[in-house]
Amino acid sequence: MAHFQILIIGGGNAGISTAAQLLRRKKDLHIAIIEPSEKHYYQPAWTLVGAGVFDIKRTIRNEESVMPRNVKWIKEAAAFFEPQNNTVITAQGNSYTYDYLVVAPGIQLNWRDVKGLKETIGKNAVTSNYSYQYAPYTYECLKNIKPGDTIFFTAPSTPTKCGGAPQKVMYMTADYLRRKGILKDVTLEFVSGGSMLFGIKKYAASLQKIVDKYGIILHFKYDLIAIDGEKREATFKLMNDAGGATVTRKFDMIHVTPPQSAPDFIRQSPLVDVKGWVDVNKYTLQHTKFQNIFSLGDVTNTPNAKTGAAVRKQVPVLVKNLIALIEHHSMTEKYSGYGSCPLTVGYGKLVLAEFGYDNKVMETFPFDQAKPRRSMWLLKKYVLPWLYWHKILKGSA
Ligand SMILES: Cc1cc2nc3c(=O)[nH]c(=O)nc-3n(C[C@H](O)[C@H](O)[C@H](O)COP(=O)(O)OP(=O)(O)OC[C@H]3O[C@@H](n4cnc5c(N)ncnc54)[C@H](O)[C@@H]3O)c2cc1C
């Protein structure tokens, strides 16, 4: 049985940047990452891929190429936790022990929770930017939209990574149709399991103006529950306490944001809260029950927007607190709940929402970021992908 000083579950955005920053601060740490995937993805650019302005190949790299030197990569999937024995057991049946554990396996996309979705996604004009496989198909669908068509964009009632992404694709589609001169001849409908457009007033007001400008119809408290690709029918359920009514509608194209949860192996573990997310102190990112366990990224129960932007602010907090614990100092770093949502509201136009716990607006730039701007679009399209591959994953940003 192999033993590591620090064992990290997940070699995605959070796991790789945590390992890299730990080693920048303390070279002699003995770290391993359990990660089954041969590939690493830059997911935020999939919105741009779906709009036809970013090459999908630039969003994927070999996992090996992002693994920090001096980190042992265990190419297996974590399956069970025995925190009382400081042990993780993998799906391959191997056990690994640790002094400290960092849990970062991201969020799970539950395609299976919408009846018929798995069978039809990627064809019949049913698409999703939430996957490397299907994001390019979104653009193929866009090109086929005709006057008279009805297009749906869904958002589930579960938490999602990048809560703005279900809307970003909608605004890009609307602007695509506007540029083609057929926007007013196409019906665009947003169907959300949530109850509002955006949780923060300032940005919600700005987005409402954009919705009005494009003539998008909004429906709240409706979850997509079934889809029949061949018949081009989607069934939605009203999410109310009385066990809501269902409604079936014909579509010509539908962009689906799948329901999401913590991964199954996490939900079945002793590490979670009642809702199945890893239970950590929202400021220190230390587990509430097991002192030598930390967690960050999409899998935690911290009440922030689940984004890579949040991960960027969580990593230095976790790293400094973990090193303090190793060196028997007190933990002083606190995560503010910062997250950001770069809302692409049209080709060359972006609203950069930035906020922390309790919906506190936390903007970076000295101008009103609720206003759509070309500079912020350039930031998303050119600066952030570069920053991700060259700085964030290397632990220097
Ligand atoms: C369409 C879309 C648009 C987005 N737009 C933005 C944006 O504009 N801005 C922004 O900041 N964020 C955006 N995000 C969100 C961002 O990509 C995530 O929040 C971020 O990747 C979270 O990092 P993570 O490390 O928690 O999860 P991930 O980066 O998803 O990594 C999780 C890793 O864990 C691994 N794993 C899974 N199961 C196991 C297991 N059993 N054992 C070991 N490892 C396992 C996975 O293979 C993966 O490598 C977007 C996401 C999507 C899908």
| pLDDT tens per residue, range 176-214 | 999 999 999 999 999 999 999 999 999 999 999 999 999
Kindly list the structural domains of the chain, giving each domain's residue range(s) and its CATH number in brackets, ordered by start.
2-107+262-334 (3.50.50.60), 109-260 (3.50.50.60)
**Ligand 1, atom 20: nearest CA belongs to which residue?**
308
- Give me the pLDDT at residue 243, please: 74
Residue in the block written with tokens 């692409």: 344
263 Cβ inside 6 Å of ligand 1 = yes
Q: Which H or E run contains 375?
A: helix 374-378
Distance 215 CA to ligand 1 centre (A): 32
Burial class (CB in 10 A: 0-12, 13-18, 19+), 327: exposed
Distance 38 CA to ligand 1 centre (A): 15
- Compute CA distances 266 → 41, 47, 78, 288, whole Å: 21, 28, 9, 15
Alpha-carbon gap, residue 357 to 55, rounded angstroms: 34
Alpha helices of 261-337 — where are they, by DSSP H? 264-267, 308-326
159 Cβ inside 6 Å of ligand 1 = no
44 Cβ inside 6 Å of ligand 1 = yes
**Ligand 1, atom 30: nearest CA belongs to which residue?**
106
35 Cβ inside 6 Å of ligand 1 = yes
Q: Which H or E run contains 191?
A: strand 187-192
Q: Which residues of 259-278 are buried (b: 16+ CB within 10 A; e: fewer)?
A: bbbbbebbeebebbeeebbb
Distance 161 CA to ligand 1 centre (A): 8
DSSP per-residue string spanning 260-277: EES-HHHHTSTTB-TTSS
Q: What tokens appear for 37 in the block? A: 């995937």
265 Cβ inside 6 Å of ligand 1 = yes
Residues with catalytic roles: 162, 341
- Compute CA distances 52 → 190, 203, 204, 207, whole Å: 21, 26, 26, 22
- Residue 140 has a CB neighbour count (10 Å cut-off) of 14
Answer for the pair 227, 126: CB distance below 8 angstroms, yes or no: yes
Global pTM reads 0.98
N-terminal to C-terminal alpha carbon distance within the chain = 35
* Strand residue runs (E) in 51-114: 60-62, 71-74, 78-82, 87-90, 95-103, 108-109
**Ligand 1, atom 31: nearest CA belongs to which residue?**
12
Low-confidence ranges of the chain (pLDDT < 70): none
SS3 163: coil
105 Cβ inside 6 Å of ligand 1 = yes
Pocket test for ligand 1, best of 307, 377, 393 (most atoms within 8 A of CB): 307
- Residue 240 has a CB neighbour count (10 Å cut-off) of 9
Distance 279 CA to ligand 1 centre (A): 18
- Give me the pLDDT at residue 215, please: 98
Closest to 19 (Cα-Cα) out of 356, 347, 311: 311
SS3 251: coil
Q: What is the CA 381 to chain-centroid distance, rounded? A: 17
183 Cβ inside 6 Å of ligand 1 = no
Closest to 47 (Cα-Cα) out of 384, 393, 391: 384
Distance 327 CA to ligand 1 centre (A): 30
Distance 388 CA to ligand 1 centre (A): 13
Answer for the pair 233, 249: CB distance below 8 angstroms, yes or no: yes
SS3 312: helix
304 Cβ inside 6 Å of ligand 1 = no
pLDDT tens-digit series, residues 26-58 = 999 999 999 999 999 999 999 999 999 999 999
